[in-house]
Each structure stands twice: as structure tokens, then as C-alpha cells.
Amino acid sequence: MKSKSLKEKAYNIIKSKIVSCEYPPNSFLNENFLQEEIGVSRTPIRDAIGRLEQESLVKIIPKKGIIVTELSINEINMIYETRMLIEPFAIEKYGNKVDKSILISIRELFTQEYTMDNIERLYEIDDRAHRIFITATQNKYIIQIYDNIQVQNNRIRILSGRKESRLSQSTQEHIKIIDAVLADNYEEAAGLIKTHLQVAKNAAFSLVLSNGGWIIHPQKDH
């Protein structure tokens, strides 16, 4: 396998395990372990770790090793602060470029019943509803920022646990946002999505504070 392919393999596998929280926040990653688990040499591993450090998913600590970045109150605040800057802007300025037939189909999906058994499907629809407005900007810098944020957002979801009490509320918030866009009320829709993101941020804060931090598997070196 070519060197570039090995580097991509290492990067994709390690990133996937971080995003899925198989490698939880604050856990240490050992190069030798990663080499054995992924089946590549040291060079692709180091290349992957370098890329993941740039994406703020790992930190290289001198004389200690590689640690998966935490998701602190401050980190969550920065994630939602960024989302509340770019998502209302995307809707207000570019919502008119979104195909309304697609929005109608997404709205229909939100009206279906979701439980803890099919919550992953709801998350997919949720992601699609947010991303459609980001993509409408056709701004590669906004899209790149959003992609980086979504990686962290997925970790927040997993570590927060599955909270059924939030499902119905979030679904109704999305429907109201879509309805405003369908009615060409883009300013109203921008305000609604900002409120939606604030509620989501508060929910994440509440979970962190009530748990005294994220509840994760006992830490071990990988």
C-alpha cells in the first residue's frame, strides 16, 4: 500500500475512534499501541497525529505523550459561540438559495416519531437540516469551520448520553425554523436557530455540571 494511503488509513481510523469516543477525552494514546492496532508503521501514525492536533482532537504533551483533547465547559462554549455566529448568518443571507422541496422533505422527516431506538436516524436528519444552510453559502471557509465543529458536536452527543426529554423539544424547534424559511422569513429563522443553539448549549452545560464532568469509561493508555 502506498505511503499516502497508509497515512490516510491511520488518520481515518484514529479520528473515527476519537469521534465515537472509543478513545475518550483525556485518554492517552501510545504510538506503539496505535501501530499494532492499525497495522502501519510509525511514520503514518505520526502524520495522522499531527493532522489531528491541527484539528484540536489531540494534544502532544512533551515528555508525556499524546492525549485526546477534553470537552470542557470552555470548549463547549467556544463550539456553540462559533455556531451561533455562522448558522444564523447562513440562514439569513443564503436561506433563499436552499431548494424548498428539500426543506419540505426534511420537515416531513422531523414529524415522524423517534425514540431512543432510532435516535441515530434523528441525529442524521438534524445534521442534514443544519448543514443544508451552511452548504448554501458556498463559502469553503465557513464549510470547513462547520465540519470541524461537527466532529466535536458528535463527541458532545455521545458523552451527553441519550436524553429523551430533549428529543421532542428539539424536533419542534427545527420544524419552526424550516417553516420560517419556507415562508421567506429569513430574519425570523435566523433568530429561531440562534435560540435553538442556545438551548442546546445550556443542555450540554447542565449535563457537564450535574455529572461533575463527562462520565466516560475508565481511562487507560492506548
Condensed to tens digits (0 to 9), the pLDDT of residues 174-198 reads 999 999 999 999 999 999 999 999 9
In sequence order, what DSSP letters do the residues of 90-114 get, joined into one string? HHHHHGGGS-HHHHHHHHHHHTS--
The three cell numbers locating residue 126: 438534524
Beta bridge partners of 67: 28, 59
pLDDT value at position 42? 92
Q: Say how far residue 67 (Cα) sits from the centre of its chain.
A: 19
CA triple 216-220-222, angle to 5 deg = 115
Top pLDDT among 55 and 213 is at: 55
Q: What is the mean pLDDT of residues 137-149?
A: 95
Give the max Cα distance, the chain: 58
CA–CA dist 60, 49 (Å, integer): 8
Q: What is the pLDDT of residues 80-104, one digit of tens each?
A: 999 999 999 999 999 999 999 999 9
Average pLDDT estimate for 145-168: 78
Q: Which residues contact 201 (CB under 8 A, 6 or more apart)?
A: 76, 77, 80
pLDDT tier for residue 214 given thresholds of 50, 70 and 90: low
**pLDDT at residue number 163:** 61
Region of poorest pLDDT, from 104-108, 175-179, 209-213:
209-213
Scanning the structure block, which residue is given the C-alpha cell 422569513? 185
